[in-house]
Structure 1
């Protein structure tokens, strides 16, 4: 091969490697010939290490969620390449998840060529390039990205990539978006110009973690030490395993119960006697909130639902968050006396250290509370265990999760569980009883189908881990399973998917009943949520990805089927188990 041309595409891909990107999850289109050529030259010349490894994904949502899953588990952002505005729109739901879940992902999309008579290499030569030319392509994503920009010249492409990554990884983290027209990405470039030392491209680290100021630390620490019934509420603190350790330290100092509200991470060990349980769309008062006189809300978007389970009116409330004002949420209100923007691990360490110095205001009250909370935790665990018993002929979600938990407990594998069970979110959390930070994660947002690509990203991030997705049948279908299972087969990322198959959308039915409990839909059982005729959900994975698949409908089948499925995954084959739980 002759010496490969150095183009804007070359510099762009080099910049991704320089910023720590290991994988580019790509759905290529007519706007990417420069990138295709750069990879081909690198491969032909034995120089492929210059660029991130490309993972081809036949659907954009799978590509994006794979990048998100990788970043969620490693903290290292990956890149996604999609086709102009159509490909950009296909990542919409997954982009929402990364934005709401504060996960760094870099998206590059081409743009329709801006010349049509061959003025530059890459000029328009396909009809689609007129149809896909829109007024404001970047505007499609601007409500969800932290940064967007257009690559107008290769001279500063590396500056743009490094800046985009710095913004993406600075807290609150999130996705960023770059576009570049074909002519720009094809342009020849002097490597010295792209790598000008004046740019200091190695000096684009994310912003250092923020801490509490001393006065705020004193105020919150004093409130917690003097509280009779303090409570900590969190949702996504577990993104940082260090924060889980510091939360446990603070809670144990003062015997403070920890409530996980809409958790998208493991935030506190489920077996800890100070774990106060979970709340999702809880429609009745939560005892821990109803009793608390002081509430510390740390990294939580929805600490409670004001209409259903707010804290008591006279409770003192403090907010510590990487995003304390929720600026992307037009309607949001928590009646706190302090809102502090701080890194959770740093802030909790400050509070625990301050309380170490001062001690509790009433040590006897702390020990009485510790004993009372431990007894309550044991009673709640016993009640949950009773709900796990089989009830033939139906397979209950509680029994299913318990059987999976017991199986996973017998394995030596590190296990990562992705939860997208929607109406069974709470069941998964309560009965899985996860204890290890990073072992249980959700999408961070509300767009379904994340698990399908995220499982691929998780497996790439931790090749030796057993990756298990617990999903509803609706979530499974939203995940474009044919595409995801094909990608998993091609890149040897086998995972287990367990489907809570109630043959319909349970969540819309519950939402309707929540507003119209005695309405016409309830009276006539007419919710338009059923999935009849039933689809062969494992069959999709078998056809597209050669997966091991089975559908079961009796409790006696659960344990052996799950064991066979895990053995298939450990042998290198993806597995999908559709479990008939009570029908919607």
Structure 2
């Protein structure tokens, strides 16, 4: 009879993840993870594999992290990432930024260099790299981006640490958390632990105080031209119909500013469009006499696009003062910390018990609808090729026709964010997400995580050619193939970095760079972008230059994805 397997810190750690609702561990394994590798092998050998989360092997850490983020964005359930000491930790840096700024819960575990070198304990140093990777403050690498960091010093309370980390990660404003553990600790035998995960629930949603509800609701009801500005209310898809109900009650139009989610149906008469790096005033925002900022980091850019100085401003947010942003200010008369859906529901309830001016509301609804229809006519007029050249507007119109309402779109189009939003016109809550931050390449892993979260759903990523390369497509496409997570990637291929050019023109519109068209942004000679995916992941791939071929290529690409094969369609646009 074989002796019982040892129960180690690694065993308890993986059990704790499963108890906390983690379905997948996205891992890039290294010399610091023998305890975890052995724990998985023992569980499979003993027929207990289902007691641990499924292990998803990712050849690059940024793909692992963004996959965990994408899963959490779609499902609402945080997943785990395993990376290799301080080197792997630094490789997730950009994606960690996205989760922190996008308020997405992810748990990261990194090993640490062993703390013994003479064989004093199991796991003691036995590879040269373990001296080189021993740094002064490994946790300090991530401390500016995580809500919580800690070191697992003993296996006796490892489950408590995991459940506490997940409780903090899931509590609003949500965000990533980071744990480290040295090999000796993760190899140690410990007694089994059974903490109750139900005792580690996230903080309940915060509500507005009654006087704040009355103050904001009365201001909206008495305004002539109120407007709501939002960016990420749609993190909670159920908050979208709640906002529609409030806005319809008072005929309040909505502007989406730098939206990383679908916050309001784009086909609704009260939808007043999108603004990103808007360099000119938005006349609709400038004319508002009451502005409710409802879940937004950048409701407008003060230098070029702000409300009227006499407008009454209110900020309601899970993070109303942006405490992690050193420079930020909206000159509001009231700031309130509250869950978006809860706050909107409170405002609607109060207004339903208040006398409203039906005539003024009807007039405002008519004016808002006319503006919405004017915008749509203007946008529709742009949805044509420019001679023999494909434009972003035409491409997005074709994509809009090719996909259905249930398709999940990941947008990381950067300089194309505005036309993508304008011409895709997504309307179903939860059907459009972005990275939440500014580090490129999120789409590649996020598409994998999103597909694993909702396998029956079609996933389409819309990215620039620079973003495509930032996503480490060779790694991501291999992972997607291995774990049956196909998606379509559509590349807005202008053969260069358009955003740095636009940034330079924004500061030096008549400078020498503009005069000589000297911006150092070209990607010539052109790479075979679909070919990378075909070589690494067996993906369907094609580059399209002719507008007449575009619709057929989209159909082929979507057919490939729906049959279980990833696809990459690179669409040539006018060169940067």
Q: TM-score, normalised by structure 2?
A: 0.99
What is the rounded CA distance, in whole Å, between the counterparts of 1:143 and 1:359 in structure 2? Answer: 48
Matches of 1:323 and 1:525, distance apart in 2: 42
What is the deviation of 1:46? 1.1
SS, match of residue 297 in structure 1: strand
Q: Which residue of 2 aligns with 1:282?
A: 278
Q: Give the counterpart of 2:232 among 236, 246, 255.
A: 236
- The separation in 2 between residues aligned to 1:200 and 1:80, in whole angstroms, is 23
**1:83 positional shift:** 0.3
The answer to whether residue 440 in structure 2 is matched with residue 448 in structure 1 is yes
Which position in structure 1 is the counterpart of 2:333?
337
Q: Name 2:305's counterpart in structure 1.
A: 309
Provide the C-alpha distance between the structure 1 equivalents of 2:247 and 2:99, rounded to a whole number of angstroms: 29
1:478-505 CA deviation, whole Å, 9 max, x = no partner?
0000000000010011100000000000
Match of 1:136 in 2: 137
Q: CA–CA distance in 2 between the matches of 1:96 and 1:54?
A: 24
Say which of 393, 417, 427 aligns to 2:409.
Answer: 417
Give the secondary-structure state (helix, strand or coil) at the position aligned to 2:568. Answer: strand
The yes-or-no answer on 1:48 pairing with 2:33 is no
Residue 323 of structure 1 contacts residue 341 of structure 1 at CA under 8 Å; is this kept in 2?
yes
Q: 1:358 aligns with which of 354, 357, 372?
A: 354
Secondary structure in 2 matching 1:107:
strand
Contact map agreement 1:158 1:201 (CA 8 A) in 2: no
Aligned to 1:166: 167
Equivalent runs, 1:466-485 vs 2, <5 Å: 466-485=458-477
> What pairs up with 1:458-537 in 2 under 5 angstroms?
458-537=450-529
Structure 2 residue aligned with 1:573: 565
1:529-548 alignment, distance < 5 Å: 529-548=521-540
Distance in 1 (CA, whole Å) between partners of 2:390 and 2:184 is: 58
3-state SS of 2:426 partner: coil
1:327 deviates by 0.5
* Aligned equivalent of 1:291: 287
Distance 1:492 1:242 in 2: 29
Measured in 2, the distance between the counterparts of 1:99 and 1:271 equals 31
Distance 1:66 1:404 in 2: 24
Contact 2:406-2:428 within 8 A present in 1 as well: no
Q: Deviations over 1:39-72 (max 9, x none)?
A: 0001111110000000000000000000000000
Contact 1:60 1:90 in 2 (8 A): yes
Shift of 1:390: 2.2
Query: In 2, Cα distance between the equivalents of 1:383 and 1:341?
Result: 38
Q: What is the CA–CA distance in structure 1 between the aligned matches of 2:530 and 2:374, rounded to whole Å?
A: 38
Question: Which deviates more, 440-449 or 364-373?
Answer: 364-373
2:424 matches 1:432 = yes
The answer (yes or no) to whether the contact 1:8–1:187 under 8 Å persists in 2 is: yes
By how many angstroms is 1:443 displaced?
0.2
Q: Which residue of 2 aligns with 1:320?
A: 316
Which of 200, 206, 218 lines up with 1:204 in the alignment? 200
Matched, 1:263 2:259: yes
Gaps in structure 2 of 5+ consecutive residues: none
Corresponding residue number in structure 1 for 2:79: 78
Count of residue pairs the alignment pairs up:
575
Q: What is the alpha-carbon distance in structure 1 between the residues aligned to residue 204 and residue 427 of structure 2? A: 28
SS at match of 2:198: coil
Once residues 4 and 139 of structure 1 are traced to their aligned partners in structure 2, the CA distance between those partners, rounded to angstroms, is 36
Aligned to 1:94: 95
Contact persistence 1:449–1:480 (CA under 8 A):
yes
Match of 1:393 in 2: 388
Partner residue of 2:343? 347
Deviation at residue 3 of structure 1 after TM alignment: 2.7
SS in 2 for 1:139: helix
| 1:410-464 CA distance string (max 9 Å, x none) | xxx8310000000110111111110111100000000000000000000000100
Structure 1: runs of 5+ lacking an equivalent: none
Contact 2:122 2:184 in 1 (8 A): yes
Work out whether residues 392 and 554 of structure 1, in 8 Å CA contact, stay in contact via their aligned partners in 2: no
Taking the aligned partners of 1:483 and 1:54, their CA distance within structure 2 comes to: 16
Is the 1:97–1:443 contact (alpha carbons within 8 Å) kept by the matching residues of 2?
Answer: yes
1:90-143 deviation digits (Å, cap 9, x = unpaired):
000000000000000000000000000001000000000000000000000000
Q: Report the counterpart of residue 246 of structure 1 in structure 2.
A: 242
Q: Deviations over 1:453-476 (max 9, x none)?
A: 000000000100000000000000
Partner of residue 403, structure 1? 398
Partner of 2:112: 111
Once residues 111 and 286 of structure 1 are traced to their aligned partners in structure 2, the CA distance between those partners, rounded to angstroms, is 51
Specify the SS of the correspondent of 1:65: helix
**Structure 2 CA distance for aligned equivalents of residues 560 and 222 of structure 1:** 53
Partner residue, 1:25: 26
Structure 2: how far apart are the matches of 1:242 and 1:541?
36
Contact 1:159 1:201 in 2 (8 A): no
For the aligned residues, what is the CA RMSD?
0.8
Matched residues in 2 for 1:432 and 1:264: separation? Answer: 14
Q: How far off is 1:2 after superposition?
A: 4.8
Partners of 2:223 and 2:305 in 1: CA distance? 20
Given that residues 229 and 291 in structure 1 are in contact (C-alpha distance below 8 angstroms), is that contact kept between their aligned partners in structure 2?
Answer: yes
Secondary structure at the counterpart of residue 202 of structure 1: helix
